[in-house]
Structure 1
Amino acid sequence: MFTFYNLKKKLKSFRIKTFFILILIIYIIYIFREQLFINSPCSHLYNINSFSTCALSKNICNITILFDSYIAYRNCVIKYSSTQSDYVIFDAVNGLGNRILGLISVTTYALITNRVLLINWQPGDNHPVYFDDLFLPLSSFEKKIPYQYSLSRLTSLIKNRWINDIELNRYNSKIPQDWAFYFDREILCNKKLYNQSWFQKIGFYILNLFHRHVKWIRTDQYFIPLLTRNEQMRQNFVKIFQNGQVFVELARRLLKPVSKVNLIIEDFQKQYNFEKKNITIGVHMRSWSSNMIEYIEPFQKCIEHVIQNVTRSSKEEMKIYLYIISNTPQRRQKLENQLSKMYKNLEILKAFEPPKNSNVVEKMQYTLAELLILSKMHHLIITSKSTFGMVAQGLAGKGAWIVRQGAINEGQSIKSNLCQWESTSEPEYQIKGSFRDNDSCSQHGTFLPSIGERTIL
């Protein structure tokens, strides 16, 4: 028998359903409002499909064409101060090498996701200068970074921390807890989404409402290998970047040194006007502990090995130039003295030192010049855990010899003959075996890179 109570109950149920349907419609309109209502004056220059379109194009399309289109789009968006465009802000942390690794990674992410790159590179940690103290701006239309503690940044950090905690606790994932960024699942996992509770999904939806247009990525990691977990994306990378050289291709376009840095490099090249046929060997030796300052054997053995290797086929004695960078001058001097006694045809290339009255900006400009000069050497020998050496190798676009000496094992016994060749120039900044190139993400977590020894190929 139909009663007033039943009618009231049905009306209440109807209102609840209607309320949730309206919320859903509002959310859908919010997500797709740009496509429905907004016609961006810049969208014809670069869009969400540009990366894959370039890779699949039957016409000539490479990273030069793609990047030029992206910069034109970026300039357009910043010029018109578009509030509807999607942005990604690179939040730089740690030292110079770490910051460059992170910047190249976030730039690649911006190219794939059609986000306008903004660089929040401020003094802090082990780095005392701003981005424009070392490099030219990407364009003349640079946008001022939103306030560091803006709502968009805070919601982004909350979301990132939440995801990290969920995956660490539920799936025993290898995501380091200090990472504060979130990768799009579609890129990482071939569109396989992780199982999440309704509470977690609603939480992410609400956070997306606040910061969908601005994503903060605070990282010093070179996470490019993660972006190739998706099979289609991996093929796109192969077609756009020649021989998989992502780092060097983007670094050449992004990192334009200021005039002072270029002058330091030019002065160095004028002083050492060595011929192309001569051998140049660049060495970067990093010390983490004071008790290792006198210990040069691993680097000495590696240099001897490289000299023997590169002069083996020569019938004549060739001139060898050696360029050594070290954060401990005593260690470098001891190594140089030892090698000078051993080889008569060896000349030491002295790195230019900043004047004694230099300020922090000038000192960092000399450091950047050292890094760029190191990358110009014919043969590289670098320390396994130093990002400075990794960046030099990435800029050089070629393999290097790796001396396994790092913060963890430096105080322990080190094998003096451990000098291994790494064929790839792509920076490897992860625990050996933690990344599987052909793996796709499962629903029970994924292996993500973390700071560790270099992967020797």
Structure 2
Amino acid sequence: MEGVIDSPDAEKRRPRRPGTITAVFLVALPLLLVVFLFRDIAADALLWPELKQQSPRSNASSPGSGKHDRLLGGLLSPDFDDEPAACRSRHESSRRWKPSPFPVSPYLVRKLRQYEANHRRCGPGTARYREAAAQLESGRNADEHGGCRYVVWLPIQGLGNRMLSLVSTFLYALLTGRVVLVHQPPGMEALFCEPFPGTSWLLPPDFPYKDGSRFWSGCKENYVTMLENNLVRYEDDVSGGNASTPLPAAYVYLHLENMKLRLQNHTFCDEDHRVLDRFNWILLRSDSYFAVALFLVPRYRDELNRMFPSKGSVFHHLGRYLFHPGNRPWGIIQRFFDGYLAGADDRLGVQVRIVPYQAVPFEVMFEQILRCTREHDLLPQVTDEPAAPAGVPTNGTAKVKKAVLVVSLKPEYYDKLHGMYYGNATATGEVVTVHQPSHDEDQHTEARAHNERALAEMYLLSYCDRVVTTGWSTFGYVAHALAGLRPWVLIPLDWSKMRADVACVRPESVEPCLHSPPSLVCRRQQDLDPVAHVPFLRHCEDVGAGLKLFD
């Protein structure tokens, strides 16, 4: 009856007509098709930003893995997962590196986690640190503060030298069970993120001995000076480092400066490290990659072999572990990379370092760069034809885009290289673009903004597919070692000819060079060339007397 509402039971008993079901299905079918057809498109739209970030061109994962290895094979602690905004580079930089050519030793991973736990136990702000600092100020070397021992790093020279020496100091801390504390001058503030979870590596501002001007190679606190003045003696070391006489001071200073002298005698001999182990506090200043010299000390050899089965991976792994650009320099890196380098099929970095006291004329150096890049097919020849627009194909095929990153304090190298490829077509049909992030003219290590740009350019070089670097340059060493790339090194000039006979060579190792190797005049030893006696050492291609680790 019209107007009467059926009860629920009546609805259940009423049979459904097939025509109604068919009509409903036909009406719903187009909507269902739309949902199914566009479901994947909608999902792709939501996932596309993430997929772009994980593309093979911009991640550090193995090919086809679909995601980058943010923890770098276990080097980085997962304990930083809860603070991505505090240090963006720690979470993002691995997307741009190529896969590491060096597997990470599980033993090295275990040593790093142990170190982090010890740093949290003994680092600044802890009761153990306060007790150890109080004993230092009182002039005592007693071991009454929970077994905490320290090595304090004091900076010297430019950013490249500082990063090399800081990695070396950290390796020394790993080998000796010490906590590394870093004196950060104003020019380095916020340059790097904290590398250890839950603690700080920065030297507290009230530390009494951070004024580097009071320490030099001949100061009374220097270990060699103490040894020469008979204030410490090898004979005082008895079975495992127990001393028969008290130490003359609560700390010892190690001076390992490369530019003014060879690394000092009595610094890399076994007996000296037994004496140094008696000091709870070591203050260290160096501008050198003295990590190489630690491999000459027999007492450290087994540990080093376990941490680094591949000797060519030392700076590559420890540099990636320690150094994470702060958010300001990381912003420079991201903006420049995404704006100028990300879209290239091939990226070539060219780093030019001209030292003021031995300045190579511009035309001489530029000719050497061109010889190097052309002899090794790093850059194509240019023709007399004008360059075609970037989007126009050549011979019916898409053009290869090559981006050249020029890193130099001077603008002339960029200007000339850019002019060549901007106005002329290439013999191969490649489109070559040339970019330079900055050109400060002179080095200003004391200026924070200058150091931020320098750090950004090191990392941009490390994101290139191939790199050309200048011999002797610690800046170049850092960049290619972080990348794990064997560079083409521009050989120093033969000044008698005003020309390098060989434009560039490619080293067998990605490791930095120790410019001034230590003397091996130890007790019961002669001053021998380590290369003749240590199978994993070679002389450097750019520094004849230098030493580098090699596989």
> What TM-score, normalized to structure 2?
0.56
**CA contact 1:182–1:217 (8 Å) conserved in 2:** no
State the match for 2:447 in structure 1. Answer: 360
Q: Which has the higher contact order (CA 8 A, sep 6+)?
A: 1
Question: What is the distance in 1 between the residues matched to 2:226 and 2:528?
Answer: 16
Residues 407-456 of structure 1: CA distance to partner in whole angstroms, max 9, x if unpaired? xx56861226421011211101326xx6899x998534466899945669
Q: What SS class does the counterpart of residue 427 from structure 1 fall into?
A: coil
1:294 counterpart letter in structure 2: E
State the match for 1:238 in structure 2. Answer: 305
What pairs up with 1:242-257 in 2 under 5 angstroms? 243-244=310-311, 245-257=313-325
Give the C-alpha shift of residue 180 in structure 1: 10
2:363 to 294, 298, 305: 294
Cα distance change on mapping 1:135 and 1:308 into 2, 3 Å: closer
Cα distance change on mapping 1:257 and 1:153 into 2, 3 Å: same
State the match for 2:108 in structure 1. Answer: 63
Cα distance change on mapping 1:231 and 1:369 into 2, 3 Å: same
1:101 to 145, 164, 167: 164
C-alpha RMSD over aligned residues: 4.4
Identity percentage of aligned residues: 20
1:300 counterpart letter in structure 2: L
State the match for 1:114 in structure 2. Answer: 177
State the match for 1:328 in structure 2. Answer: 410
Question: What is the distance in 2 between the residues matched to 1:388 and 1:164?
Answer: 35
User: Counting helix residues as a fraction of each chain, which structure ranks higher?
Assistant: 1
User: Does 1:226 find its partner at 2:293?
Assistant: yes
2:451 counterpart letter in structure 1: M
2:210 counterpart letter in structure 1: Q
Residues 158-205 of structure 1: CA distance to partner in whole angstroms, max 9, x if unpaired? 323455899xxxxxxx996946987987xx44x4679xxxxxxxxx98
Give the C-alpha shift of residue 395 in structure 1: 0.8
Q: What SS class does the counterpart of residue 511 from structure 2 fall into?
A: coil
Give the C-alpha shift of residue 330 in structure 1: 1.5
Give the C-alpha shift of residue 342 in structure 1: 6.5
Question: What is the distance in 2 between the residues matched to 1:158 and 1:148?
Answer: 15
Cα distance change on mapping 1:180 and 1:424 into 2, 3 Å: closer
State the match for 1:201 in structure 2. Answer: none
Unaligned runs of 5+ in 2: 1-104, 133-144, 231-255, 382-396, 531-538
What pairs up with 1:22-37 in 2 under 5 angstroms? none
Residues 221-277 of structure 1: CA distance to partner in whole angstroms, max 9, x if unpaired? 11122111245633432332352211011111211111011111111222136457x
Question: What is the distance in 2 between the residues matched to 1:401 and 1:236?
Answer: 32
1:222 counterpart letter in structure 2: Y
Q: What SS class does the counterpart of residue 348 from structure 2 fall into?
A: strand
1:402 to 480, 489, 497: 489
Cα distance change on mapping 1:176 and 1:416 into 2, 3 Å: closer
Residues 364-400 of structure 1: CA distance to partner in whole angstroms, max 9, x if unpaired? 2122111110111111110111111011111111211
1:146 to 208, 211, 215: 208
Question: What is the distance in 1 between the residues matched to 2:223 and 2:299?
Answer: 27
Unaligned runs of 5+ in 1: 1-59, 124-128, 167-173, 195-203
User: Does 1:259 find its partner at 2:339?
Assistant: no
> What TM-score, normalized to structure 1?
0.66
1:382 counterpart letter in structure 2: T
What pairs up with 1:77-88 in 2 under 5 angstroms? 77-78=122-123, 79-80=126-127, 81=129, 82-83=131-132, 84=145, 85-88=148-151
1:146 counterpart letter in structure 2: P
What pairs up with 1:431-450 in 2 under 5 angstroms? 442-445=524-527
State the match for 1:158 in structure 2. Answer: 222
User: Mean Cα displacement is larger for which, 218-227 or 240-249?
Assistant: 240-249
State the match for 2:117 in structure 1. Answer: 72
1:270 to 338, 346, 349: 338
Structure index of larger Rg: 2
Residues 297-325 of structure 1: CA distance to partner in whole angstroms, max 9, x if unpaired? 111111112326999xxx99743221111
Give the C-alpha shift of residue 76 in structure 1: 1.1
Q: What SS class does the counterpart of residue 282 from structure 1 fall into?
A: strand
**CA contact 1:89–1:216 (8 Å) conserved in 2:** yes
**CA contact 1:301–1:416 (8 Å) conserved in 2:** no
State the match for 2:432 in structure 1. Answer: 347
2:111 counterpart letter in structure 1: L
1:120 counterpart letter in structure 2: H
Q: What SS class does the counterpart of residue 272 from structure 1 fall into?
A: helix
